[in-house]
Chain A
Amino acid sequence: MDTLVATTSGVATVATAVVHESPIHVSLKAEVLGHFLGLPITNSLLMTWLVMALLIGFAFFFGRSLTLIPGKLQAAVEWLFEGAYGYVVETFESEELAKKFFPLIATIFLFVLVGNELEFVPGVGSIGFFHGTEFEPLLRAPAADLNFTLALAFISFFTIEITGLAVLGALKYSGRFVNFSSPVNFAVGIIEIVSNLGRLVSFSFRLFGNIFAGEVMILVAGYFLPYLLPAPLIGFEMFIGAIQALVFAMLTMFFIKLSVTDPHEAH
């Protein structure tokens, strides 16, 4: 392995000493750092593990230090979770469904949020290896890799569809997609199938596109006006990262609600 070096940015790097036709190098896919049992370990996978370790570690130590009279941190976390839980109950209009799905929705939110915000910690993306002229960062924002967002999208998609099947029943739920009662209903069913499958694309590309484009935008801004222009953009991108985490979790919630609501009994 080549020597460990530090540069200015991660996903995209400015090749300074190297004569390159374009000074900005953007890599769309995550770099493979090594192989473990034949599975490629990419830098975004490493970052994902780091985020998981952070969240699990926090949950472990926080769960052990719970007291009946909450301290400052416990009070803040309790307040946040109570607010979020209240919102989920309000959306589902059922305590039972909210109890079942709140863990998944909150996990998606926290996981994406921590992954997006950690991206701006100094060292993430700027520490890595040089392979000849190619720079390979050690850590890369998880959501700047389509594999991560697509995996999350699959989790959401299957949760939504299986919940619909389980709550409404196979016959009633599939009647939404394949319906021979009239030509109009048949066409509506086809549209429903396409729109459900389209969620996979929109879920994964929305998160990937926002985070990836944000990183490239910061790099390009740093190339035009170093130090001054990227600073407010980084603040803006942190806001975008939080909003995207919220959007991913909330959309999962809304679609679950849609799939368990019987359209004929809704009103």
Chain B
Amino acid sequence: MDVESAKLIGMALAAGLGVIGPGIGIGLIGGGAMEAIGRNPEASGKIVSNMILAIVFTEALGILALVVSFIIKFV
């Protein structure tokens, strides 16, 4: 296997494996927020803004994996 194909495989693995965790995390956050809104619909505005904030932090991890895969591919 030459370096170029190893790089391609590495990039795909880094991006693909890296988004598993954040995917689970965002699912948990969204599920928790929906449950909270169901219990207390009046507080939905506050819950949604906090949910977006939490999703952003989780998503940053996936983005990190994506950047690593870019570095593998293009540097």
Binding site for B on A (CB under 8 A): 26-28, 202, 205-206, 208-210, 212-213, 216, 243-244, 247, 250
Contacts and interface: CB of A to CB of B under 8 A. Distances in A.
B67 interface: yes
Nearest to A210: B63
B64 to A, nearest CB: 5
13 contacts: A26-B74, A28-B74, A28-B75, A205-B64, A209-B60, A209-B63, A209-B64, A209-B67, A212-B67, A213-B63, A216-B70, A243-B52, A244-B56
A91 to B, nearest CB: 13
Interface of B: 52-53, 56-57, 59-60, 63-64, 66-67, 70-71, 73-75
Contact of B70 (A213, A243, A250): A213
A210 B70 contact: no
Contacts of B75: 28
Q: What is the predominant secondary structure among interface residues of chain B facing chain A? A: helix
A142 B56 CA distance: 20
Contacts of A205: 60, 64, 67
Nearest to B55: A243
Contacts of A247: 53, 56-57
A210 B60 contact: yes
A26 B53 contact: no
Contacts of A210: 59-60, 63
A206 B74 contact: no
Nearest to A207: B60
B66 A209 contact: yes
Contact of B71 (A28, A202, A243, A244): A28
B12 to A, nearest CB: 14
